Amino acid sequence: MRVATVEKEQKPRARGLIGSVIGDAQRLVALEIALAKQEAKELAKGNAIAAGLMAFGGLLLALAVLVAVPVLVIMLVPWRWQAAAAWVAAYVVIGLVLVLVGKARMRIGLPPRTVASLKENKEWALRRVRSNGR
């Protein structure tokens, strides 16, 4: 008689425990989605700045070519071509620096905090299932 009573009490506990684990898992999923959205926004913002720098650097490189060629052709007199070459060199250097800085700032990949959090949540869920199965 005592064994039957204990088994009846354990079934509601197990159901409550399973419901608790499912509720916790749902909250974790919602938090993971929120974290992923936040990291995606941060990554998009950083990459937008990097892309802007690269675009501006590319624009300066294009301007260097578009301005330099006519200037060098028209100004092929001994005293003026050095100034035109210096102007082209300045545009090229500034443009290359901006492109390289933009490229260095560009980060493409998985959000690291979300990946780490997902691993922790997986380990937590496995530990909780194992400890409750005993």
Cα separations (Å) of 82 from 5, 60, 77, 91?
100, 20, 9, 14
Pick 19 or 79 by higher pLDDT: 19
Q: What's the 3-state SS for 110-126?
A: CCHHHHHHHHHHHHHHH
Rounded average pLDDT over 79-92: 77
pLDDT of res. 101? 94
Rounded average pLDDT over 71-82: 69
Mean pLDDT of all residues in the chain? 82
Query: How many alpha carbons fall within 13 Å on the CB side of residue 102?
Result: 18
Total number of domains constituting the chain: 1
Q: What is the dihedral of CA 106, 109, 114, 118, to 10 degrees?
A: -170
Q: Is the pLDDT confidence value at 63 over 90?
A: no
pLDDT band at 50; cut points 50, 70, 90: very high
Query: What range does the domain containing 112 cover?
Result: 2-132
SS3 107: coil
Q: Is the pLDDT confidence value at 132 over 80?
A: no
